[in-house]
Amino acid sequence: MKPLVSILTTSYNYERFIGETIRSVIAQTYDFWELLIVDDCSTDGSWDVISKFDDPRIRAVRFEINQGACTAYNTALRMAKGEYIASLDSDDVFHPEKLARQVEFLESNPDVDICGSYLKEIDDTGAAVANESLIYAPWFNRTLDLNAPDCWIWENHLCHSSAIMRKALHDRIGLFREDLTYSPDWNFWLRSLSEGAKFHVIAEELVEYRSHGSNITHRNLNTLMWEYADISATTLHPYLKRIGRPDLVKKNVRIFVKRFFEIDGNWQQFLELMEMLDWRDGHDERFSIAPHFFDDEELTTLVARLSRAWTPKLLALSGTNVSEPGSSGASATALKAQPTELAPSFALNARIERDEARRKLDEAIQENVLTKEREAALAREILELKTQQAALSARLSALQGEHEALNQEYRGLQAQSTIMRTELDRIGQTIWGRGDRLMRWMRGME
């Protein structure tokens, strides 16, 4: 018997795409699959679209409150009965041969745990993105050995919708982290790599990846940076140290520092990020800024001074009064006099920004729903007015018909009156008419 493939799809407000996504699964040449859809309390018509599909291989559930994509994914995973797990985002599309090609490869290569593929980048209409406008295809469609740890430093070259894996591996590695928004797949791939999983990517475009304005991956760079720092500290760095690659740890930290100052200049957050990464060299020395680390020498000097002289706690207590070590700008007494409540941490700030972005997105979605409701109400009003207009037009036509009938009757009576007058005139000219007039005259004389 062919192995069952469980396809996990999380849905949230992709009414315009989810139907095509489901149809691409139904169109698979490999027909031994189950599609498990978890709708995360969509506020558009996504659930209505999902509910219209009547296929026993499709099972769908809907959250009553929004719980996040990772919670929805884990819920679908718990429902899975297949030997293999495939992922399909609700705005992406499977190539008809996708499951057949990947199952065939995994069945023939039992040492491979996770199998990805290249992708075709499409826009929100489903058309192929022009070569000069491609964003995701050049990133994912690369000849790389994903079993090499240096391919994972601040990078994720395995598209989630392209991947299919053995369920036994997923059960061993565990669920997706539900506190992550932008990088749960990168976290899972790293956890798998650290546990000895073997990767392979088929160099064929077996999934259509939709590039549109609502893609979540890079919506909030600050939160993304916090998540990458957290994953590096808890998963990537311990793995790299275990396999004897401190050079890659150093490379990862340097990338963090450079990218941090590309998007944020908050010194407290910088120091907290360094505390989280906790990078040390071979002499157990904390991370230091090397000369000419940045192109700007003054910036390098300033960052180096801050990283040496200040801790997150000291910076929080000292407020904005940052001075040279040993100067009189911030004495110990002055520091002790400051409030003891620390400023929000980098992680907390990032989560606050993430929640604010979600709130704004929800507001925009709600406004869109209200706009659609107003449009629907206006359409109903217009339809009612048109119905009334049609009724009035029908009534007017009926009245016009009655008026024409009355006119015809009136013209008929006029014709009869004319005939009668003509007849009376004719009779008046006869002897009977003259006698009648003479009799009337004589009566008048009496």
329 pLDDT band (50/70/90 cuts)?
Answer: very low
C-alpha span between 417 and 419 (Å, rounded)? 5
Q: Considering only CA atoms, which of 274, 181, 287 is closest in space to residue 232?
A: 274
121 three-class SS: strand
Rounded Cα distance between 345 and 440, Å, is 125
CB atoms within 10 A of CB 212: 13
Query: Is a pLDDT exceeding 60 seen at residue 162?
Result: yes
Kindly state the tokens that stand for 51.
Answer: 């509910």
pLDDT tens for each residue of 338-356? 333 333 444 555 556 666 7
Q: Which pLDDT does position 419 carry in this prediction?
A: 86
* Residue 357: per-residue pLDDT: 67
7 DSSP 8-state letter: E
The answer to whether residues 36 and 80 touch, using CB atoms and an 8 Å cutoff, is yes
Q: For residue 412, name the pLDDT band (cuts at 50, 70, 90).
A: confident
Domain ranges of the chain: 5-219, 233-348
For strand 199-210 and strand 93-94, is the pairing parallel, antiparallel, or unpaired? antiparallel
pLDDT beyond 70 at 332: no
pLDDT at 300 over 90: no
Q: What percent of the chain has pLDDT over 70?
A: 75
Helix (H) / strand (E) containing 150: none
Residue 422's pLDDT is: 83
Per the prediction, the chain carries an average pLDDT of 82
Say whether pLDDT at 319 is over 50. no
pLDDT greater than 50 at residue 333: no
- 167, 208 Cβ separation under 8 angstroms: no
On the question of pLDDT at 409 being above 90, the answer is: no
The reported pLDDT for the residue numbered 113 is 98
CA-to-CA dists, residue 264 to 41, 213, 230, 323, angstroms: 34, 23, 17, 21
pLDDT at 427: 74
What gap in Å lies between CA 330 and CA 295, rounded to an integer? 30
pTM of this prediction exceeds 0.75: no
Which one, of 89, 91, 94, lies nearest residue 73 by Cα? Answer: 89
Q: What is the mean predicted confidence (pLDDT) over 230-239?
A: 92
Angstrom distance (rounded) from CA 335 to CA 377: 62
- Report the Cα–Cα distance between both ends of the chain, in Å, rounded: 129
Q: What is the pLDDT of residue 157?
A: 95
Task: Report which of 310, 244, 217, 224 is spatially closest to residue 271, judged by C-alpha positions.
Answer: 310
| Class of residue 416 by CB neighbours under 10 A (exposed 0-12, middle 13-18, buried 19+) | exposed
Confidence grade of residue 167 (pLDDT, cut at 50, 70, 90): very high
364 residue type, one letter: A
Q: Positive or negative, the Cα torsion across 70, 73, 78, 84?
A: negative
| pLDDT tens, position by position, 375-406 | 888 888 898 898 899 888 888 888 998 888 88
Q: Tell me the per-residue pLDDT of 104-150, one tens digit each, with 9 for 90 and over.
A: 999 999 999 999 999 999 998 999 999 999 999 999 999 999 999 99
User: Over the stretch 12-48, which tens digit does the pLDDT of each residue have?
Assistant: 999 999 999 999 999 999 999 999 999 999 999 999 9
Alpha helices, H only, 143-288: 167-173, 184-194, 221-231, 237-242, 246-263, 267-277
Closest CA to 144 of 159, 129, 133, 132: 159
Share of the chain above pLDDT 90, in %: 48
Q: pLDDT-based confidence at 255, cuts 50/70/90?
A: confident
pLDDT reported for residue 384: 87
Of 98-107, 289-298, 380-389, the one with minimum mean pLDDT is: 289-298
- Would you give the DSSP letter of residue 136? S
Per the document, the length of the chain is 446
pLDDT, position 374: 86
Element (H, E) at 26: helix 15-26
Mean pLDDT of 299-322: 49
* 271 vs 178: CA distance, rounded Å: 26
Instruction: State the pLDDT at residue 159.
Output: 96
**Alpha helical stretches, state H, 278-345:** 297-309, 312-318, 332-337
CA angle 368, 370, 376 (to 5 degrees): 105
What would the pLDDT profile of 185-211 be if each residue is shown by its tens digit? 999 999 999 999 999 999 999 999 998
Please report the pLDDT score of residue 297 as a whole number.
Answer: 62
Residues 6+ positions from 113 with CB-CB distance below 8 Å:
165, 166, 169, 192, 197, 198, 199
Contact between 89 and 9 (Cβ < 8 Å): yes
* 416, two tokens: 């009869």
Burial class (CB in 10 A: 0-12, 13-18, 19+), 72: buried
The matching CATH number, chosen from 3.40.50.620, 3.90.550.10, 3.90.1170.10, 3.20.20.80, for 5-219 is 3.90.550.10
> SS3 for 310?
coil
